[in-house]
Structure 1
Amino acid sequence: MNFIAMDFETASAKRYSAVSLGLAVVRDNKLVDEFYTLIKPDSFFDKRNTRIHGITEADVRNAPIFPEVWEQIQQFYTPNQLVIAHNAPFDNGVLRETLTHYDIDLPHYLSLDTVRTSRKLYPELPNHKLNTVAAALGIDLKHHHNALNDTVAAAEILVRQATDFGVEPLKQLVKVI
Structure 2
Amino acid sequence: MNFYSIDFETASYAKHSACSVALVKVENNKIVDEYYSLIKPETDFFWKNIQVHGIKPEDVADAPKFPEVWKQIQGCFKANSLVVAHNAPFDCGVLAGCLDYYGIDQPNYLSLCTVKTSRKLFPEMPNHKLNTVCENLNIQLNNHHDALEDSRACAEILLYQEKHFGVEPLKKLVTIK
Q: Do Structure 1 and Structure 2 share a fold, with TM-score over 0.5?
A: yes
Task: Give the distance between the partners of 2:78 and 2:56, measured in 1 at CA.
Answer: 32
Q: Which residue of 2 is the match for residue 79 of structure 1? A: 79
1:67-86 alpha-carbon deviations (Å, 9 max, x no partner): 00000000000000000000
Once the 2 structures are TM-superposed, how far is the Cα of residue 64 of structure 1 from its aligned partner? 0.3
What is the identity percentage for the equivalent residue pairs of Structure 1 and Structure 2?
A: 58
Residue aligned with 2:105, SS: coil
Q: Which residue of 1 is the match for residue 38 of structure 2? A: 38
- The residue type paired with residue 17 of structure 2 is S
Task: Give the distance between the partners of 1:142 and 1:27, measured in 2 at CA.
Answer: 24
Once the 2 structures are TM-superposed, how far is the Cα of residue 60 of structure 1 from its aligned partner? 0.1
Task: Give the distance between the partners of 1:160 and 1:71, measured in 2 at CA.
Answer: 31
Task: Give the distance between the partners of 1:79 and 1:142, measured in 2 at CA.
Answer: 33
- The residue type paired with residue 132 of structure 1 is T
- The residue type paired with residue 64 of structure 1 is P
1:29-59 alpha-carbon deviations (Å, 9 max, x no partner): 1000000000000101000000000000000
Task: Give the distance between the partners of 1:71 and 1:37, measured in 2 at CA.
Answer: 12
Residue aligned with 2:24, SS: strand
Once the 2 structures are TM-superposed, how far is the Cα of residue 63 of structure 1 from its aligned partner? 0.2
1:136 aligns with 2:128: no
Task: Give the distance between the partners of 1:169 and 1:43, measured in 2 at CA.
Answer: 39
Matches within 5 A, 1:70-109: 70-109=70-109
Matches within 5 A, 1:14-163: 14-163=14-163
* Count, aligned residues: 177
Provide structure 2 residue ranges, at least 5 long, that are not aligned to the other structure: none
Once the 2 structures are TM-superposed, how far is the Cα of residue 65 of structure 1 from its aligned partner? 0.2
Once the 2 structures are TM-superposed, how far is the Cα of residue 103 of structure 1 from its aligned partner? 0.4
Task: Give the distance between the partners of 1:140 and 1:74, measured in 2 at CA.
Answer: 28
- The residue type paired with residue 105 of structure 1 is D
Provide structure 1 residue ranges, at least 5 long, that are not aligned to the other structure: none
Once the 2 structures are TM-superposed, how far is the Cα of residue 142 of structure 1 from its aligned partner? 1.2
- The residue type paired with residue 65 of structure 2 is I
Residue aligned with 1:162, SS: helix
Residue aligned with 1:161, SS: helix
- The residue type paired with residue 115 of structure 2 is V
Task: Give the distance between the partners of 1:83 and 1:99, measured in 2 at CA.
Answer: 16
Q: Which residue of 2 is the match for residue 11 of structure 1? A: 11
